[in-house]
Amino acid sequence: MNANERVIIVGAGHAGATVAMQLRKMDFAGDIILLGDERFSPYQRPPLSKAYLAGEEDAESLKLWPDEIYESKGIMLVQSATVAALDRAGKYVRLADKTEVSYDCLVIATGSRPREIALPGIHLAGVHRLHTIEDADGLKAAIGPGKRVALVGGGYIGLEVAASVVGLGGSAVVIEQQDRVLAGVASVPLSDYLRRAHEDRGVEFLTGVQVARIEGSKGRVTGIRLGDDRLVPCDVAVVCVGVVPNTGLAVAAGLDGANGIVVDHDARTADPAIFAIGDVTCRPMPLYDDRMFCLRSVPNALEQAKQAAAAMMGKPRPKPEVPWFWSHQFDLKVQIAGVPFDADDLVLRGDPAAGAFSAFHMKDGRVLAVETVDAPLEFAAGKQMILRKSVLSREQLVDPRVEVTALAV
């Protein structure tokens, strides 16, 4: 990219703001325009279900960078600006107010949004979702001592919100259609452990149940009616049933994006002038034979922002990183690295009954992924094993006399 060229970034979230900063770090001297449809400057979403909801962090501390940094780095941050259309042939984007802005290079960083479910009663007052600061502020105002909160969906966000609700003196019930929480994203030992940990702290669970509708009175939620006709009374409901990528712009412009915009190892789409990064993408996984996968996490947003900036600036491609994710629930620190894809063996190190433990997902002795609870050494070592494609025996991994850090080298 030359100094007389312009990069437009659509979406001022974790990925979009980071690629802008990376470009300046790599001495890009041209225009950078960062267009975001939210009212806030780029901020971190993870605390919205954790410390921010619990009142331990404020909006200022969520900011990725202080507001003045953007101007000082020559990044034109435009807030409350929705990009409505993309013209690839003309190389410009059109905003909702009809302004057209041309680009030499475009980065789509539009993230994801909560999955909608067409439940009767979903629009009642007191029914929340959680994706933005405004959502978190609305939810925070509704929960507190004595409030009973129903979480529809037992994924990570549902569990984190349940923990925050209980921490604030309320009560929480998690309603999950699968027969266990975190089904599909965590091993059985981890989901069992977290369920027990929540139950010990007062959270109730209803698993293997369908939600038929949300009941209300005078326009306000009063409970969740299950498929078997039971009523779960509540003052507040939070629907957290996953996210879908914001691929509309890209798909309307003819890019491949059924389940996430398809990108390569440089985060480049099939259009050489267009990159896509973060939650909105479906990407190859170099540590897993380039299988295509949609990672929806902060570390992925950061990794792809670095890939795109390096490719735009003609710099060497950054080394592949091990995907990872974290979750905080009560005083528990969960850290997960890798993706278990074809794993057919699960090796536990440590005893879940005793607290800290880790679960290694293996295939033919190779560590593909590791889940840890309060086990930072196992997490760090597991990441190394995944990166190095280490082959280990079950016996080595379970033996507490063998230092896990020694196994990672």
Ligand X SMILES: Cc1cc2nc3c(=O)[nH]c(=O)nc-3n(C[C@H](O)[C@H](O)[C@H](O)COP(=O)(O)OP(=O)(O)OC[C@H]3O[C@@H](n4cnc5c(N)ncnc54)[C@H](O)[C@@H]3O)c2cc1C
User: d(Cα 237, Cα 36) in Å, to the nearest integer?
Assistant: 29
> Which of 22, 41, 49, 247 is in the footprint of ligand X by CB under 6 A?
49
CB 379 within 8 A of CB 385: no
275 binds ligand X (CB under 6 A): no
Nearer to ligand X, 7 or 362 (CB): 7
Give whichever of 102 and 405 is closer to ligand X, judged by the CB atom.
Answer: 102
Q: What is the DSSP letter of 64?
A: S
Nearest to ligand X of 79, 390 (CB atom):
79
The answer to whether residue 24 forms part of the interface with ligand X (CB under 6 A) is: no
- Which amino acid appears at position 272 of this protein? P
Please name which of 136, 176, 129, 171 lies closest in space to residue 152, comparing C-alpha atoms. Answer: 176
Helical H segments across 38-172, by residue range: 59-62, 67-72, 133-142, 156-167
CA distance to 180, 214, 233, 308, per residue, from 225 (Å): 19, 6, 9, 47
Q: Which stretch binds ligand X (CB under 6 A): 121-129, 143-151, 272-280, 309-317?
A: 272-280
**Is residue 335 part of the contact set for ligand X (CB under 6 A)?**
no
* Short-list 234, 264, 30, CA closest to 124: 234
H-type alpha helices, 255-323: 298-312
**Binding flags for ligand X, 72-101, as an x/- string (CB under 6 A):** ----------xx------------------
Q: Which of 63, 88, 147, 296 binds ligand X (CB under 6 A)?
A: 296
| 113-135 per-residue burial string, b: 16 or more CB within 10 A, e: under 16 | ebeeeebebbebebbbbbbbbeb
Return the range that interacts with ligand X (CB under 6 A); candidates 46-54, 175-183, 212-220, 342-350: 46-54
Stretch that binds ligand X, among 182-190, 291-299, 307-315, 353-361 (CB under 6 A): 291-299
Q: Which is nearer to ligand X, 296 or 388 (CB)?
A: 296
Residue of 182, 197, 163 lying closest to 373 (CA atoms): 197
Per CB under 6 A, which region of 19-27, 307-315, 320-328, 368-376 contacts ligand X? 320-328
Rule CB under 6 A: say whether 63 interacts with ligand X. Answer: no
Which residues contact ligand X by CB under 6 A? 10-16, 35-38, 45-46, 48-49, 82-83, 109-112, 130-131, 157, 246, 249, 278-280, 296-299, 301, 325-327
